């Protein structure tokens, strides 16, 4: 997960992600954003679900990665000319550590439904 710093000083942990370029397909966006924010190379992105949020819609993918890979904090290219750096840390974390995160909640519901 990647730790984000809001302009008001508050922080939150989120899955790597970001915006899609105009000519990019979502699967390529997922792999690119993962690499930009964590330094980790992903493969085989599989769409799980869409989740509406305040700025539109978020699509969550399951991506295969080397779980022995060490994540390295990357950058958000959209912030290249901005004084504020949103990304502040990166780490492997159990999703259970973030039960209030809307995407984690949706992911847990998704996996629970898949078991049935």
Q: In the predicted model, is pLDDT for residue 109 greater than 80? A: yes
Q: What's the pLDDT score for residue 10?
A: 95
Alpha carbon of 42 to those of 27, 49, 71, 106: distances in Å?
A: 10, 18, 12, 21
Convert the pLDDT of each residue in 62-79 to its tens digit. Answer: 999 998 999 999 988 777
pLDDT of residue 79: 75
What's the pLDDT score for residue 84?
83
The answer, yes or no, to whether residue 41 has pLDDT greater than 90, is: yes
Which band of pLDDT confidence, cut at 50, 70 and 90, is reported for residue 19?
Answer: confident
């Amino acid at each position: 997960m990647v730790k984000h710093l809001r302009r008001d000083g508050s922080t939150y942990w989120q899955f790597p992600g970001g915006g899609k370029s105009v000519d990019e397909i979502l699967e390529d966006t997922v792999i690119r954003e993962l690499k930009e924010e964590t330094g980790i190379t992903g493969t085989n992105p599989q769409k799980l679900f869409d989740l509406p949020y305040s700025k539109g819609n978020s699509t969550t993918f399951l991506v295969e990665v080397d779980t022995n890979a060490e994540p390295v904090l990357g950058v958000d290219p959209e912030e290249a000319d901005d004084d504020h750096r949103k990304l502040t840390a990166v780490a492997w974390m159990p999703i259970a550590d973030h039960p209030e995160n809307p995407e984690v909640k949706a992911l847990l519901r998704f996996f629970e439904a898949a078991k049935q």
